[in-house]
């Protein structure tokens, strides 16, 4: 039975056509996946249904009647709820306070009756306690876990998403739209969400999932609608298609779903971590006595169940967590390379020369600047005549990110939270690129030419869809935001690159593009730490995999010979018969 129909919907933003004459129907009680590349228009269309945008042309019908949706309130009145990719919660409020926010006493009493929450006595009353009891009934029906008095700022990503879904269902929606619901969830959290979706379907709900993850589309949905460049490409029944066919529909050409891993020798130790202990934000030990070595021209995967210490490990290496002890040693590959003033000033160059660190390129003799004028020293450095004898070795355990960078240690870090830690939402694409390099400018004025050129390169290389380089990052789709962050860090050409879930929110074409770029960086000598959740990808992309369980390293295995079962056992703290590859 047809529930919602789009007729000839067109939506534009300036010269950008987000939706171009789109027509299709959503059936009552089905799980429908909306599939498409980043910026293909799938989220825009559902934002029109959710009252965030209004279409420029076309009509929407609900249960056979034409409707005019001008706000989210209109959408809610039609029984349509939207759970956005970036959650709309009040961080300082508790879960139950967020659920009942903006609801009147009359609204709450109506909701209590609809859920089946009954009160004894003649007088009906509303309170946070009663609302929490009503919410619990809802949670028990669908399989949610709910802590009513927990503050949002203390919640994990999965808990925030659960709260958004509960808040929407509490208001009585029959159609639930989920925008990229698994983009930031672990496999275990995704499995639980899908169980909840199946329970909602059994209860007669209609669920629309905006996604680009092909395996999840095939697992959870009844039908798939595919978008490309703002246009509807087609609709297929899930049991009549496969990943390859859907990928071809999304991209418009045959997609190679293989990951290339270069087999090249490593280029020496780059990072040595010794007996590292790190405390998390709650003050508890998140990393316990960790020791490992990262090599140049290597991709080291970090595997583990969510919350096993992945974030704390990367933040400690990056200098973002000072609640730690142990040793972190960085070897800067400088042997037989020329000295520059990019990370060293004249005073530092003189000091290192006095310690016998340099030789003259033309003669091979040890450098001495005694009796030499500053202008002559500057000329020799700029002409690349001054060379390093050996690599530089630094202890960076107690240094901040800025102090690490000022030593000339080029690290890049793609954090898990792209808009919280990685980018500034209300700054432009160019200005977000500039954040990495503005301190290196000369004089009091900021020059954006180099950052604009790099932004152009990133947009072209990663196929980012943006109206202009001056557009605010927050106005872009989630996948394009992720590509800007990943591109900025990768194309800064670091010595060490740390990436946490770099393809979260990316479509299949973009994901494989990132995998290939990581392999290219490995070929350039970069030492890469890759944190991911897809073990198939990790086994295909990385050279070694370090496994964390409850903050401890339970093994380091060779990706070419390890199995998913072996890694899964290590993730739960078990032991394998295979000797780990240290």
Task: Give the domain CATH number at 101.
Answer: 3.40.50.300
Instruction: For residue 433, give its domain range.
Output: 423-492
Residue 259 lies in a domain: no
How many other CB atoms are there within 10 angstroms of residue 402's CB atom? 9
208 and 97 assigned to the same domain = yes
Task: Give the other-Cβ count within 10 Å of 411's Cβ.
Answer: 21
State the pairing for strand pair 231-237/65-67.
Answer: unpaired
pLDDT at position 408 = 66
Same domain? 101 vs 191: yes
Q: Alpha-carbon distance 285 to 289, whole Å? A: 10
Query: What is the C-alpha separation between 582 and 553, in angstroms, rounded?
Result: 11
For residue 418, being part of any structural domain is answered with: no
Q: What are 463's two structure tokens?
A: 């196929």
Q: What are phi and psi of 443, to 5 degrees?
A: 80, -170
For residues 187 and 59, membership in a common domain is answered with: yes
Q: Give domain status of residue 417, yes or no.
A: no
- The answer to whether residues 371 and 514 belong to one domain is no
Question: CB–CB of 33/218 below 8 Å?
Answer: no
pLDDT digits (tens, 9 = 90+) for 458-488: 898 888 888 889 999 888 877 788 889 888 8
Question: b/e for 155-194, b at 16 or more Cβ within 10 A?
Answer: bebbbbbbbbbbbbbbbebbbbbbbbbbbbbbeebbebbb
9, 148: one domain? yes
Whether residue 88 is found in the same domain as residue 226: yes
Beta bridge partners of 499: 414, 530
Q: Are 472 and 462 in contact (CB under 8 A)?
A: no
How far apart, in whole angstroms, are the C-alpha atoms of residue 545 and residue 34? 34
Measuring CA to CA, how many Å separate 260 from each of 190, 299, 518, 541? 27, 12, 10, 7
Does any domain span residue 581?
A: no
Query: Are residues 220 and 77 part of one domain?
Result: yes
The CA–CA distances, whole Å, from 134 to 139, 146, 174, 367 equal 9, 12, 18, 78
Quick check: is 457 in a domain?
Answer: yes
Give me Rg for the CA atoms of the chain. 27
Does 463 share its domain with 485?
yes
Which secondary structure element, helix H or strand E, spans residue 460, and what is its range?
helix 449-461
Q: Is 401 helix (H, G, I), strand (E, B) or coil?
A: helix
Query: Tokens for 139?
Result: 């949670």
Distance set, CA 220 to CA 190, 191, 208, 469, 509 (Å): 11, 10, 11, 37, 21
* pLDDT score of 4: 96
Whether 115 and 154 share a structural domain:
yes
Q: What is the pLDDT of residue 545?
A: 97
Residue 340 lies in a domain: no
- Do 367 and 402 sit in the same domain of this protein? no
C-alpha separations of 139 from 46, 184, 350 in Å: 26, 22, 68
Contact (CB, 8 A) for 472 and 505: no
The predicted pLDDT at position 351 comes to 92
> pLDDT value at position 535?
85
- Is residue 27, in this structure, part of any structural domain at all? yes
Report CA torsion sign: 109, 110, 116, 122: positive
Residue 314 lies in a domain: yes
Number of structural domains in the chain:
4
Same domain assignment for residues 358 and 404:
no
Domain end position, chosen among 432, 465, 492 = 492
Q: Identify the bridge partners of residue 548 per DSSP, sorted by sequence position.
A: 553
Low-confidence spans in the chain with pLDDT less than 50: 578-582
Q: Is the pTM of this model over 0.75?
A: no
- The verdict on 114 and 200 lying in the same domain is yes
Supply the pLDDT for residue 402.
81
């Amino acid at each position: 039975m047809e529930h919602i129909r789009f007729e000839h919907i067109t939506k534009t933003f300036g010269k950008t056509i987000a939706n171009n004459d789109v027509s299709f129907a959503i059936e009552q009680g089905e799980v429908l996946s909306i599939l498409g590349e980043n910026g293909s228009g799938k989220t825009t269309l559902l934002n029109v249904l959710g009252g965030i945008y209004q279409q420029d042309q076309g009509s929407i019908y609900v249960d056979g009647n034409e409707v005019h949706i001008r706000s989210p309130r209109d959408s809610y009145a039609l029984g349509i709820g939207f759970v956005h990719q970036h959650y709309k919660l009040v961080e300082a409020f508790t879960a139950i306070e967020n659920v009942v926010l903006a609801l009147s006493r009359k609204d709450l009493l109506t909701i209590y009756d609809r859920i089946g929450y009954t009160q004894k006595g003649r007088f009906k009353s509303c309170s946070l306690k009663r609302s929490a009891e009503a919410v619990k009934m809802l949670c028990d029906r669908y399989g949610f876990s709910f802590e009513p008095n927990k503050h949002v700022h203390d919640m994990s990503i999965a808990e925030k998403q659960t709260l958004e879904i509960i808040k929407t269902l509490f208001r009585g929606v029959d159609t639930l739209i989920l925008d990229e619901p698994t983009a930031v969830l672990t496999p275990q959290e995704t499995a639980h969400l899908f169980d909840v979706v199946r329970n909602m379907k059994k209860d007669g709900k209609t669920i629309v999932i905006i996604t680009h993850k092909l395996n999840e589309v095939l697992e959870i949905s009844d039908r798939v609608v595919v978008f490309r460049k703002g246009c509807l490409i087609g609709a297929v029944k899930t049991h009549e298609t496969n990943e390859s066919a859907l990928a071809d529909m999304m991209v418009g050409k045959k997609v190679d779903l293989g990951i290339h891993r270069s087999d090249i020798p490593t280029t020496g130790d780059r990072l040595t971590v010794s007996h590292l202990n790190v405390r998390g934000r709650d003050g508890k030990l998140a990393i316990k006595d960790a020791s490992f070595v990262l090599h140049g021209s290597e991709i080291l995967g970090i595997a583990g169940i969510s919350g096993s210490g992945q974030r704390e490990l990367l933040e400690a290496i990056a200098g973002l967590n000072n609640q730690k002890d142990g040793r972190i040693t960085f070897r800067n590959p400088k042997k037989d390379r020329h000295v520059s003033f990019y990370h060293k000033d004249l005073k530092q160059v003189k000091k290192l020369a006095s310690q016998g660190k340099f030789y003259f390129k033309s003669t091979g003799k040890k450098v001495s600047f005694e009796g030499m004028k500053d202008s002559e020293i500057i000329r020799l450095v700029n002409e690349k005549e001054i060379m390093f004898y050996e690599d530089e070795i630094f202890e960076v355990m107690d240094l901040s990110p800025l102090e690490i960078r000022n030593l000339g240690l080029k690290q890049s870090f793609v954090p898990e939270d792209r808009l919280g830690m990685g980018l500034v939402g209300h700054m432009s694409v160019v200005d977000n690129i500039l954040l990495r390099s503005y301190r290196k400018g000369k004089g009091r004025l900021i020059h954006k030419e180099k950052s604009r050129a790099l932004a152009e390169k990133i947009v072209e290389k990663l196929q980012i869809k943006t109206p202009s380089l001056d557009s605010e990052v927050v106005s872009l789709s989630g996948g394009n935001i992720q590509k800007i962050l990943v591109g900025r860090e990768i194309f800064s050409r670091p010595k060490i690159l740390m990436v946490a879930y770099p393809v979260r929110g990316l479509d299949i074409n973009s994901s494989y593009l990132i995998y290939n770029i990581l392999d290219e960086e490995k070929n350039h000598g970069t030492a890469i730490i890759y944190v991911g959740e897809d073990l198939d990808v990790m086994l295909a992309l990385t050279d070694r995999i370090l496994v964390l369980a409850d903050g401890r390293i339970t093994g380091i295995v060779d990706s070419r010979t390890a199995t998913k079962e072996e890694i899964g056992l290590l993730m739960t703290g078990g032991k394998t018969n295979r000797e780990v590859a240290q």
